[in-house]
Every structure is written in structure tokens, then in C-alpha cells.
Amino acid sequence: MAPAKHPAKLNLGDYLPYLVNRVGTIIADQFGEEALAPHGLSIAMWRVMAALSANGGQRQIDLADLTSIDASTLSRLVTRLTRIGLVTRARSTSSNREVVVALSAKGRLLVARLIPSARRIEADASAGLTAEELAVLKRALRRMYRNMTARPTAAAGARAKRIAV
């Protein structure tokens, strides 16, 4: 174990994992309640739809990379999104063995309606930060995610083998 500077105490207000997690949670909770819940969507379902909207139809394995959602969870999400008519699964035109996930017309319409809310909550959350601070923040967060996916733990290997997008 690495030696700790203050082994007996841990000040949450200066503890990076806490500072990150509470921000991530409060944004997801507010966006979920305000924008997604009225449509019966979770944050994870929204991520899938946003990724399909930005990148077009995807194989499930590529969609997992784009959303940082593990394969088995993603499969269940796509099934639910398909059932409610927001997403379709179809054989690839280039390879009959491949299944491609894509937004339905209804799904595209819903994403287009939700994107302004998503942009607004991002703007609300980052109000008062300079462009430079925002750039440092995003770069640091990408680096942290890569650090965590590269940690040599069984848990990390099983769940988070995605590379940061």
C-alpha cells in the first residue's frame, strides 16, 4: 500500500473520487428526472440513442465502445429500446452475419427533441468556467477514465475494458 499523507483522516471535500461522483450523479439525476423520465428513458438508454444519432447505425460491439456500457447490459438496453419502438435491429447490408442497431424514425425524432435539453444542462453545469478550464477539465476526465480502465484489477478487467472515446 502506498503511504498516505494523512492516514487517519479523509476530507471528502478534497477527495477527488467524491468530487467527481457527486457531480456526475446530480447531473444525471436532474437530466433523468426533467428530460428522460417523461419518456420512460434511463440515462443509459439515452446514451445509446445519442451515440446512434451521432454515429449512425452500429454493431453492438462498437456501440459498447461509444457508450462505455458493457456488452451484456447494452444487449438488454437495446432489447428494451427495440420493444418501445425507438431502435431497430437489422442484418447488415454488407455482412449477413452482422446485426446493426439503429434509431427508428420515432427514435430520431425523440433524440432531436432531447438534445437541446442535454445541451442546456451541460451549459448550466459548466456556467462560470472559462474555455481553458473546460479544456483542462475534459482532458483530465478523459485521462482519469483511461487510468481506471487500465488498472490491473479483476473488477476493472471484467467490467470496464472499454477504451475512452
CB nearer to its own copies: give 91 or 139: 139
Residue with cell 446493426: 100
Total chain residues near its own copies (CB under 8 A): 80
Residue 37 grid cell: 423520465
| CA 65, chain centre distance (Å) | 10
Is 121 a binding residue for its own copies by CB under 8 A? The answer is yes
DSSP helix, strand, coil percent of the chain (3-state; round to 5): 65, 5, 30
- Which one of 73-81, 83-91, 97-105, 153-161 is the stretch in contact with its own copies (CB under 8 A)? 153-161
- 104 in contact with its own copies (CB under 8 A): no
Selected range binding its own copies among 72-80, 81-89, 95-103, 148-156, rule: CB under 8 A: 148-156
Q: Which of 39, 106, 159, 161 binds its own copies (CB under 8 A)?
A: 159
CA distance 141 to 24: 11
Query: What angle, rounded to 10 degrees, do the helices at 71-83 and 60-67 form?
Result: 110
β 58-59/87-91 pair status: unpaired
Instruction: Please report whether residue 98 would count as binding its own copies according to CB under 8 A.
Output: no
15 lines the binding site for its own copies (CB under 8 A): yes
CB of residue 101 vs its own copies: minimum separation in angstroms?
15
87 binds its own copies (CB under 8 A): no
Residues numbered 46 to 65 that lie near its own copies (CB under 8 A) are: 47, 50-51, 53-54
- One-letter amino acid at 93 equals T
